[in-house]
Structure 1
Amino acid sequence: MDILALLLMGLVFVASLVIQGGLQATFARFSRVANSRGLTGAEVARAILDAHGLTHVRVEPVPGALTDHYDPHAKAVRLSEPNYASPSLAALAVAAHEVGHAVQDAHGYTWLRVRASLWPAASLGTNLGPILVVGGLMLGAIGLAKLGLYLYLAVALFQLVTLPVEFDASRRALEFLRRMGFLSREEMAPAQKVLTWAALTYVAALASSLAAILYYASLLMGRREE
Protein backbone atom coordinates (compact mmCIF):
# COMPACT_ATOMS: atom_id res chain seq x y z
CA MET A 1 0.00 0.00 0.00
CA ASP A 2 2.85 2.40 0.85
CA ILE A 3 4.46 1.78 -2.56
CA LEU A 4 1.19 2.39 -4.40
CA ALA A 5 0.61 5.58 -2.45
CA LEU A 6 4.14 6.78 -3.23
CA LEU A 7 3.63 5.93 -6.90
CA LEU A 8 0.40 7.92 -6.94
CA MET A 9 2.13 10.86 -5.28
CA GLY A 10 4.85 10.69 -7.92
CA LEU A 11 2.35 10.67 -10.77
CA VAL A 12 0.45 13.60 -9.28
CA PHE A 13 3.72 15.48 -8.81
CA VAL A 14 4.64 14.99 -12.46
CA ALA A 15 1.14 16.04 -13.56
CA SER A 16 1.42 19.16 -11.40
CA LEU A 17 4.72 20.06 -13.04
CA VAL A 18 3.16 19.62 -16.49
CA ILE A 19 0.20 21.82 -15.55
CA GLN A 20 2.44 24.48 -14.01
CA GLY A 21 4.59 24.43 -17.11
CA GLY A 22 1.52 24.72 -19.32
CA LEU A 23 0.28 27.72 -17.35
CA GLN A 24 3.64 29.48 -17.48
CA ALA A 25 4.05 28.85 -21.21
CA THR A 26 0.50 29.96 -22.02
CA PHE A 27 0.76 33.03 -19.81
CA ALA A 28 4.13 33.99 -21.27
CA ARG A 29 2.80 33.57 -24.81
CA PHE A 30 -0.24 35.78 -24.35
CA SER A 31 1.60 38.27 -22.14
CA ARG A 32 3.32 39.32 -25.36
CA VAL A 33 0.03 39.86 -27.25
CA ALA A 34 -1.67 43.21 -26.66
CA ASN A 35 -5.45 43.56 -26.80
CA SER A 36 -6.86 45.52 -29.72
CA ARG A 37 -8.19 48.33 -27.50
CA GLY A 38 -4.89 48.91 -25.71
CA LEU A 39 -6.46 48.73 -22.24
CA THR A 40 -4.37 47.72 -19.23
CA GLY A 41 -5.33 45.17 -16.61
CA ALA A 42 -5.92 47.95 -14.09
CA GLU A 43 -8.18 49.87 -16.46
CA VAL A 44 -10.30 46.83 -17.24
CA ALA A 45 -10.56 45.85 -13.56
CA ARG A 46 -11.69 49.38 -12.65
CA ALA A 47 -14.24 49.50 -15.45
CA ILE A 48 -15.80 46.14 -14.53
CA LEU A 49 -15.97 47.03 -10.84
CA ASP A 50 -17.62 50.37 -11.59
CA ALA A 51 -20.12 48.71 -13.93
CA HIS A 52 -21.19 46.46 -11.04
CA GLY A 53 -21.51 49.32 -8.57
CA LEU A 54 -18.33 48.34 -6.72
CA THR A 55 -16.76 51.79 -6.80
CA HIS A 56 -15.50 51.29 -3.24
CA VAL A 57 -13.30 48.34 -4.24
CA ARG A 58 -9.76 49.52 -4.94
CA VAL A 59 -7.46 48.28 -7.71
CA GLU A 60 -3.86 48.16 -6.51
CA PRO A 61 -0.51 46.92 -7.88
CA VAL A 62 1.50 44.36 -5.88
CA PRO A 63 5.10 43.23 -6.42
CA GLY A 64 5.92 39.91 -8.04
CA ALA A 65 4.62 37.81 -10.89
CA LEU A 66 1.26 36.01 -10.75
CA THR A 67 0.66 37.43 -7.26
CA ASP A 68 -2.78 38.65 -8.34
CA HIS A 69 -5.58 38.22 -5.80
CA TYR A 70 -8.71 39.74 -4.32
CA ASP A 71 -8.56 40.77 -0.66
CA PRO A 72 -12.10 40.54 0.77
CA HIS A 73 -11.11 42.24 4.03
CA ALA A 74 -9.50 45.28 2.42
CA LYS A 75 -12.00 45.23 -0.47
CA ALA A 76 -9.16 45.48 -2.96
CA VAL A 77 -8.33 43.80 -6.25
CA ARG A 78 -4.55 43.46 -6.23
CA LEU A 79 -2.83 42.87 -9.55
CA SER A 80 0.81 41.94 -9.96
CA GLU A 81 2.76 44.89 -11.30
CA PRO A 82 3.18 43.40 -14.81
CA ASN A 83 -0.56 42.70 -15.13
CA TYR A 84 -1.56 46.02 -13.57
CA ALA A 85 0.14 48.08 -16.27
CA SER A 86 0.07 45.63 -19.16
CA PRO A 87 -2.39 45.71 -22.10
CA SER A 88 -1.78 42.02 -22.83
CA LEU A 89 -4.52 39.44 -23.30
CA ALA A 90 -3.16 37.51 -20.31
CA ALA A 91 -3.30 40.60 -18.09
CA LEU A 92 -6.91 41.30 -18.99
CA ALA A 93 -7.93 37.69 -18.33
CA VAL A 94 -6.30 37.71 -14.89
CA ALA A 95 -7.69 41.13 -13.99
CA ALA A 96 -11.22 40.12 -14.94
CA HIS A 97 -10.85 36.88 -12.96
CA GLU A 98 -9.88 38.73 -9.78
CA VAL A 99 -12.79 41.12 -10.26
CA GLY A 100 -14.93 38.01 -10.53
CA HIS A 101 -14.02 37.25 -6.91
CA ALA A 102 -14.96 40.79 -5.90
CA VAL A 103 -18.37 40.35 -7.53
CA GLN A 104 -18.77 36.98 -5.78
CA ASP A 105 -18.04 38.70 -2.48
CA ALA A 106 -20.54 41.48 -3.17
CA HIS A 107 -23.26 38.98 -4.07
CA GLY A 108 -22.57 36.69 -1.10
CA TYR A 109 -21.57 33.76 -3.32
CA THR A 110 -22.14 30.65 -1.21
CA TRP A 111 -18.98 28.72 -2.01
CA LEU A 112 -16.83 31.79 -1.33
CA ARG A 113 -18.34 32.03 2.15
CA VAL A 114 -17.86 28.32 2.76
CA ARG A 115 -14.23 28.57 1.70
CA ALA A 116 -13.66 31.52 4.02
CA SER A 117 -15.10 29.53 6.94
CA LEU A 118 -12.73 26.63 6.19
CA TRP A 119 -9.61 28.78 5.93
CA PRO A 120 -8.58 28.70 9.65
CA ALA A 121 -8.69 24.89 9.77
CA ALA A 122 -6.99 24.59 6.37
CA SER A 123 -4.21 26.95 7.41
CA LEU A 124 -3.66 24.96 10.59
CA GLY A 125 -3.69 21.72 8.60
CA THR A 126 -1.13 23.00 6.11
CA ASN A 127 1.28 24.03 8.86
CA LEU A 128 0.75 21.27 11.41
CA GLY A 129 -0.86 18.31 9.63
CA PRO A 130 2.24 16.63 8.14
CA ILE A 131 4.31 17.42 11.25
CA LEU A 132 1.78 15.76 13.56
CA VAL A 133 1.42 12.71 11.30
CA VAL A 134 5.15 12.09 10.94
CA GLY A 135 5.95 13.09 14.51
CA GLY A 136 3.14 10.96 15.88
CA LEU A 137 4.32 7.91 13.94
CA MET A 138 7.93 8.40 15.02
CA LEU A 139 6.89 8.72 18.66
CA GLY A 140 4.36 5.92 18.48
CA ALA A 141 1.60 8.39 19.34
CA ILE A 142 -1.14 7.14 17.02
CA GLY A 143 -3.68 9.62 18.38
CA LEU A 144 -1.39 12.51 17.49
CA ALA A 145 -0.85 11.10 14.01
CA LYS A 146 -4.61 10.76 13.54
CA LEU A 147 -5.10 14.39 14.54
CA GLY A 148 -2.56 15.42 11.92
CA LEU A 149 -4.38 13.37 9.29
CA TYR A 150 -7.71 14.99 10.17
CA LEU A 151 -6.13 18.43 9.93
CA TYR A 152 -4.76 17.59 6.51
CA LEU A 153 -8.23 16.46 5.46
CA ALA A 154 -9.34 20.03 6.18
CA VAL A 155 -6.76 21.20 3.63
CA ALA A 156 -8.20 18.89 0.99
CA LEU A 157 -11.73 20.02 1.80
CA PHE A 158 -10.66 23.65 1.45
CA GLN A 159 -9.09 22.90 -1.93
CA LEU A 160 -12.21 21.04 -3.04
CA VAL A 161 -14.42 24.01 -2.19
CA THR A 162 -11.93 26.27 -3.96
CA LEU A 163 -12.72 24.62 -7.31
CA PRO A 164 -16.26 26.00 -7.78
CA VAL A 165 -15.06 29.40 -6.51
CA GLU A 166 -12.29 29.59 -9.11
CA PHE A 167 -14.32 28.09 -11.96
CA ASP A 168 -17.14 30.55 -11.31
CA ALA A 169 -14.74 33.51 -11.20
CA SER A 170 -13.30 32.46 -14.56
CA ARG A 171 -16.78 32.09 -16.03
CA ARG A 172 -17.67 35.56 -14.81
CA ALA A 173 -14.40 36.95 -16.16
CA LEU A 174 -15.02 35.69 -19.68
CA GLU A 175 -18.56 37.04 -19.57
CA PHE A 176 -17.32 40.46 -18.43
CA LEU A 177 -14.73 40.61 -21.19
CA ARG A 178 -17.20 39.53 -23.86
CA ARG A 179 -20.27 41.49 -22.78
CA MET A 180 -18.42 44.75 -22.11
CA GLY A 181 -16.51 44.51 -25.38
CA PHE A 182 -13.00 44.54 -23.95
CA LEU A 183 -11.93 41.64 -26.17
CA SER A 184 -12.88 40.72 -29.71
CA ARG A 185 -14.18 37.27 -30.60
CA GLU A 186 -10.69 36.25 -31.74
CA GLU A 187 -9.15 37.50 -28.49
CA MET A 188 -11.56 35.56 -26.28
CA ALA A 189 -9.98 32.18 -27.06
CA PRO A 190 -6.51 33.11 -25.72
CA ALA A 191 -8.10 34.57 -22.57
CA GLN A 192 -9.99 31.35 -22.03
CA LYS A 193 -6.79 29.32 -22.45
CA VAL A 194 -5.04 31.37 -19.77
CA LEU A 195 -7.90 30.91 -17.32
CA THR A 196 -8.26 27.19 -18.10
CA TRP A 197 -4.60 26.48 -17.34
CA ALA A 198 -4.88 28.55 -14.15
CA ALA A 199 -7.92 26.54 -13.05
CA LEU A 200 -6.06 23.28 -13.64
CA THR A 201 -3.47 24.29 -11.04
CA TYR A 202 -6.21 24.16 -8.39
CA VAL A 203 -7.23 20.70 -9.57
CA ALA A 204 -3.60 19.60 -9.32
CA ALA A 205 -3.33 21.03 -5.80
CA LEU A 206 -6.36 19.03 -4.69
CA ALA A 207 -4.99 15.86 -6.29
CA SER A 208 -1.66 16.38 -4.51
CA SER A 209 -3.39 16.73 -1.14
CA LEU A 210 -5.51 13.62 -1.70
CA ALA A 211 -2.42 11.62 -2.69
CA ALA A 212 -0.60 12.83 0.43
CA ILE A 213 -3.59 11.88 2.60
CA LEU A 214 -3.61 8.40 1.07
CA TYR A 215 0.09 8.04 1.80
CA TYR A 216 -0.21 9.25 5.39
CA ALA A 217 -3.23 7.00 5.94
CA SER A 218 -1.29 4.00 4.61
CA LEU A 219 1.56 4.75 7.02
CA LEU A 220 -0.91 5.04 9.88
CA MET A 221 -2.64 1.77 9.02
CA GLY A 222 0.71 0.03 8.66
CA ARG A 223 1.80 1.18 12.10
CA ARG A 224 -1.49 0.05 13.67
CA GLU A 225 -1.03 -3.43 12.19
CA GLU A 226 2.39 -3.83 13.80
Structure 2
Amino acid sequence: MFYPGFYFDPTYLILLPAMIIAFWAQFKIDSAYKKYKAVRIASGVTGSEVARSILDGAGLFDVRIERYGKHLGDHYDPSSRVIRLSPEVYDGVTVAAAGIAAHECGHAIQHQTHYAPLVLRTRIAPAVNIASNASIWLFMIGIFLGNPLFARIGIIFFSLAVLYQIITLPVEFNASRRALNILETRTFLYGDEIKGAQKVLNAAAMTYVAATLMAISQLIRLIALNNRYNDN
Protein backbone atom coordinates (compact mmCIF):
# COMPACT_ATOMS: atom_id res chain seq x y z
CA MET A 1 0.00 0.00 0.00
CA PHE A 2 1.28 3.49 -0.86
CA TYR A 3 1.04 6.27 1.70
CA PRO A 4 1.69 9.70 0.20
CA GLY A 5 4.15 11.69 2.25
CA PHE A 6 5.88 8.72 3.86
CA TYR A 7 7.57 7.13 0.85
CA PHE A 8 8.53 9.27 -2.13
CA ASP A 9 7.31 12.80 -1.67
CA PRO A 10 8.61 16.17 -2.84
CA THR A 11 8.98 17.27 0.79
CA TYR A 12 11.89 14.82 1.09
CA LEU A 13 13.87 17.42 -0.85
CA ILE A 14 13.74 19.57 2.29
CA LEU A 15 16.02 17.00 3.93
CA LEU A 16 18.53 16.81 1.07
CA PRO A 17 20.89 19.69 2.06
CA ALA A 18 21.08 18.45 5.67
CA MET A 19 21.72 14.88 4.46
CA ILE A 20 24.60 16.06 2.28
CA ILE A 21 26.11 17.98 5.21
CA ALA A 22 25.66 14.94 7.45
CA PHE A 23 27.52 12.67 5.01
CA TRP A 24 30.29 15.28 4.70
CA ALA A 25 30.55 15.66 8.49
CA GLN A 26 30.77 11.90 8.98
CA PHE A 27 33.47 11.69 6.33
CA LYS A 28 35.42 14.48 8.09
CA ILE A 29 35.30 12.85 11.53
CA ASP A 30 36.17 9.42 10.12
CA SER A 31 39.15 10.75 8.17
CA ALA A 32 40.41 13.02 10.96
CA TYR A 33 40.11 10.28 13.55
CA LYS A 34 41.79 7.71 11.30
CA LYS A 35 44.70 10.08 10.66
CA TYR A 36 45.32 11.26 14.21
CA LYS A 37 44.76 7.96 16.00
CA ALA A 38 47.94 6.91 14.21
CA VAL A 39 49.95 9.92 15.43
CA ARG A 40 51.72 9.10 18.69
CA ILE A 41 52.14 12.01 21.13
CA ALA A 42 55.53 13.01 22.53
CA SER A 43 54.36 13.02 26.16
CA GLY A 44 53.64 9.28 25.95
CA VAL A 45 50.47 9.37 28.09
CA THR A 46 47.32 7.40 27.31
CA GLY A 47 43.89 8.92 26.89
CA SER A 48 42.80 7.58 30.27
CA GLU A 49 45.89 9.08 31.90
CA VAL A 50 45.15 12.45 30.28
CA ALA A 51 41.59 12.26 31.56
CA ARG A 52 42.60 11.29 35.10
CA SER A 53 45.16 14.08 35.31
CA ILE A 54 42.69 16.70 34.04
CA LEU A 55 39.96 15.53 36.42
CA ASP A 56 42.27 15.48 39.42
CA GLY A 57 43.59 18.92 38.51
CA ALA A 58 40.00 20.21 38.53
CA GLY A 59 39.29 18.57 41.90
CA LEU A 60 37.00 15.98 40.32
CA PHE A 61 38.47 13.01 42.17
CA ASP A 62 35.06 11.30 42.38
CA VAL A 63 34.52 11.18 38.61
CA ARG A 64 35.38 7.68 37.42
CA ILE A 65 36.89 6.70 34.08
CA GLU A 66 35.70 3.48 32.46
CA ARG A 67 36.64 1.57 29.35
CA TYR A 68 33.63 1.49 26.99
CA GLY A 69 33.32 -0.97 24.14
CA LYS A 70 31.62 1.17 21.49
CA HIS A 71 33.80 2.67 18.74
CA LEU A 72 33.71 6.49 19.05
CA GLY A 73 31.16 6.04 21.83
CA ASP A 74 33.14 8.21 24.23
CA HIS A 75 30.93 10.28 26.54
CA TYR A 76 30.47 11.79 29.96
CA ASP A 77 27.49 10.55 31.97
CA PRO A 78 26.46 13.34 34.39
CA SER A 79 23.97 11.13 36.23
CA SER A 80 26.63 8.53 37.13
CA ARG A 81 29.55 10.98 37.13
CA VAL A 82 31.62 8.72 34.93
CA ILE A 83 33.61 9.26 31.75
CA ARG A 84 33.41 6.32 29.37
CA LEU A 85 36.19 6.00 26.83
CA SER A 86 36.40 3.61 23.89
CA PRO A 87 39.40 1.23 23.98
CA GLU A 88 41.33 3.20 21.34
CA VAL A 89 40.95 6.36 23.41
CA TYR A 90 41.36 4.76 26.85
CA ASP A 91 44.61 3.00 25.94
CA GLY A 92 45.70 5.17 23.02
CA VAL A 93 48.88 7.24 23.17
CA THR A 94 47.79 9.37 20.24
CA VAL A 95 46.65 12.88 19.33
CA ALA A 96 43.08 11.64 18.77
CA ALA A 97 42.98 9.82 22.12
CA ALA A 98 44.24 12.84 24.06
CA GLY A 99 41.85 15.22 22.30
CA ILE A 100 38.76 13.08 22.81
CA ALA A 101 39.61 12.26 26.43
CA ALA A 102 40.15 15.94 27.21
CA HIS A 103 36.86 16.83 25.49
CA GLU A 104 34.93 14.46 27.75
CA CYS A 105 36.70 15.99 30.75
CA GLY A 106 35.46 19.33 29.45
CA HIS A 107 31.92 18.05 29.97
CA ALA A 108 32.74 16.95 33.51
CA ILE A 109 34.12 20.41 34.26
CA GLN A 110 30.98 21.96 32.75
CA HIS A 111 28.97 19.83 35.17
CA GLN A 112 31.14 20.94 38.08
CA THR A 113 30.74 24.64 37.20
CA HIS A 114 27.01 24.34 36.43
CA TYR A 115 27.48 25.42 32.83
CA ALA A 116 23.96 26.59 31.93
CA PRO A 117 23.46 24.85 28.54
CA LEU A 118 24.61 21.50 30.02
CA VAL A 119 22.33 21.91 33.04
CA LEU A 120 19.37 22.68 30.77
CA ARG A 121 20.16 19.79 28.42
CA THR A 122 20.44 17.34 31.31
CA ARG A 123 17.14 18.48 32.82
CA ILE A 124 15.11 18.20 29.63
CA ALA A 125 16.71 14.95 28.41
CA PRO A 126 14.11 12.56 29.97
CA ALA A 127 11.17 14.54 28.54
CA VAL A 128 12.88 14.82 25.16
CA ASN A 129 13.45 11.05 24.98
CA ILE A 130 9.75 10.38 25.56
CA ALA A 131 8.55 13.17 23.28
CA SER A 132 10.86 12.32 20.38
CA ASN A 133 9.86 8.64 20.44
CA ALA A 134 6.16 9.53 20.46
CA SER A 135 6.29 12.45 18.02
CA ILE A 136 6.33 10.62 14.68
CA TRP A 137 3.67 8.12 15.79
CA LEU A 138 1.38 10.94 16.90
CA PHE A 139 2.00 12.80 13.67
CA MET A 140 1.27 9.74 11.51
CA ILE A 141 -1.89 8.94 13.47
CA GLY A 142 -3.04 12.52 13.05
CA ILE A 143 -2.43 12.46 9.29
CA PHE A 144 -3.99 9.05 8.62
CA LEU A 145 -7.04 9.72 10.82
CA GLY A 146 -7.43 13.26 9.59
CA ASN A 147 -7.02 14.56 13.14
CA PRO A 148 -5.08 17.86 13.08
CA LEU A 149 -4.75 17.89 16.87
CA PHE A 150 -2.68 14.68 16.97
CA ALA A 151 -0.51 15.92 14.10
CA ARG A 152 0.13 19.24 15.85
CA ILE A 153 0.98 17.52 19.13
CA GLY A 154 3.44 15.33 17.19
CA ILE A 155 5.05 18.46 15.73
CA ILE A 156 5.27 20.09 19.16
CA PHE A 157 6.86 16.95 20.61
CA PHE A 158 9.37 16.81 17.77
CA SER A 159 10.17 20.47 18.39
CA LEU A 160 11.51 19.45 21.80
CA ALA A 161 14.00 17.15 20.07
CA VAL A 162 15.06 20.03 17.85
CA LEU A 163 15.51 22.25 20.91
CA TYR A 164 17.69 19.56 22.49
CA GLN A 165 19.92 19.46 19.41
CA ILE A 166 20.26 23.25 19.40
CA ILE A 167 21.22 23.31 23.10
CA THR A 168 23.78 20.57 22.43
CA LEU A 169 25.80 22.83 20.11
CA PRO A 170 27.18 25.26 22.73
CA VAL A 171 27.74 22.32 25.10
CA GLU A 172 29.96 20.53 22.58
CA PHE A 173 31.82 23.59 21.29
CA ASN A 174 32.51 24.81 24.82
CA ALA A 175 33.82 21.38 25.89
CA SER A 176 36.21 21.37 22.94
CA ARG A 177 37.50 24.87 23.75
CA ARG A 178 38.12 23.82 27.34
CA ALA A 179 39.87 20.65 26.17
CA LEU A 180 42.23 22.39 23.77
CA ASN A 181 43.13 25.04 26.32
CA ILE A 182 43.93 22.40 28.96
CA LEU A 183 45.91 20.22 26.56
CA GLU A 184 48.10 23.17 25.62
CA THR A 185 48.53 24.84 29.02
CA ARG A 186 49.19 21.53 30.79
CA THR A 187 51.60 20.53 27.97
CA PHE A 188 49.95 17.20 27.26
CA LEU A 189 50.39 18.12 23.59
CA TYR A 190 52.94 20.22 21.75
CA GLY A 191 52.96 22.23 18.52
CA ASP A 192 51.37 20.35 15.65
CA GLU A 193 49.82 17.90 18.11
CA ILE A 194 47.50 20.67 19.32
CA LYS A 195 46.53 21.46 15.73
CA GLY A 196 45.78 17.79 15.14
CA ALA A 197 43.60 17.54 18.24
CA GLN A 198 41.76 20.68 17.11
CA LYS A 199 41.05 19.11 13.72
CA VAL A 200 39.65 15.97 15.38
CA LEU A 201 37.42 17.96 17.75
CA ASN A 202 36.28 20.38 15.04
CA ALA A 203 35.30 17.45 12.83
CA ALA A 204 33.40 15.88 15.72
CA ALA A 205 31.60 19.17 16.35
CA MET A 206 30.44 19.27 12.75
CA THR A 207 28.53 16.01 13.28
CA TYR A 208 26.47 17.83 15.93
CA VAL A 209 25.89 20.74 13.55
CA ALA A 210 24.74 18.27 10.90
CA ALA A 211 22.41 16.52 13.36
CA THR A 212 20.88 19.87 14.31
CA LEU A 213 20.33 20.84 10.69
CA MET A 214 18.75 17.45 10.02
CA ALA A 215 16.39 17.85 12.98
CA ILE A 216 15.38 21.35 11.87
CA SER A 217 14.84 20.14 8.30
CA GLN A 218 12.70 17.26 9.51
CA LEU A 219 10.61 19.65 11.59
CA ILE A 220 10.07 21.90 8.56
CA ARG A 221 9.05 18.84 6.54
CA LEU A 222 6.49 17.75 9.17
CA ILE A 223 4.99 21.23 9.18
CA ALA A 224 4.83 21.22 5.36
CA LEU A 225 3.14 17.80 5.31
CA ASN A 226 0.65 18.86 7.96
CA ASN A 227 -0.24 22.03 6.05
CA ARG A 228 -0.67 20.07 2.82
CA TYR A 229 -3.00 17.49 4.35
CA ASN A 230 -5.00 20.21 6.11
CA ASP A 231 -5.40 22.03 2.78
CA ASN A 232 -6.75 18.82 1.28
Note whether the superposition's TM-score is higher than 0.5: yes
Q: CA RMSD in A?
A: 1.2
Alignment partner of 2:70: what SS?
A: coil
| Alignment-derived partner of residue 197 in structure 1 | 203
CA distance in 1, matches of 2:94, 2:11: 42
Conservation of the 8 A alpha-carbon contact between 1:121 and 1:151: no
| Alignment-derived partner of residue 183 in structure 1 | 189
Structure 1 residues 80-126: Cα deviation after superposition (integer angstroms, max 9, x where no partner): 11110001100110000000000010111111111112212321232
C-alpha deviation, 1:130, in angstroms: 1.3
Match of 1:224 among 213, 226, 230: 230
Displaced runs of 4+ in structure 1, greater than 4 A?
none
Structure 1 residues 34-74: Cα deviation after superposition (integer angstroms, max 9, x where no partner): 11111100000000001111111111101021010001111
| Alignment-derived partner of residue 165 in structure 1 | 171
CA distance in 1, matches of 2:10, 2:111: 41
- Over the matched positions of the two proteins, sequence identity in percent amounts to 36
Q: Which segment drifts farther, 146-155 or 5-14?
A: 5-14
Larger helix fraction of residues: 1
Unaligned runs of 5+ in 2: none
The answer to whether structure 1 residue 80 and structure 2 residue 86 are counterparts is yes
Unaligned runs of 5+ in 1: none
Conservation of the 8 A alpha-carbon contact between 1:5 and 1:211: no
CA distance in 2, matches of 1:14, 1:135: 30
Conservation of the 8 A alpha-carbon contact between 1:15 and 1:204: yes
Conservation of the 8 A alpha-carbon contact between 2:11 and 2:225: no
State TM-score, norm by structure 1.
Answer: 0.96
| Alignment-derived partner of residue 151 in structure 1 | 157
State TM-score, norm by structure 2.
Answer: 0.94
Alignment coverage as a number of residue pairs? 225
Alignment partner of 1:78: what SS?
A: strand
| Alignment-derived partner of residue 123 in structure 2 | 117
CA distance in 2, matches of 1:126, 1:24: 27
* Corresponding letter in the other structure for 2:79: H
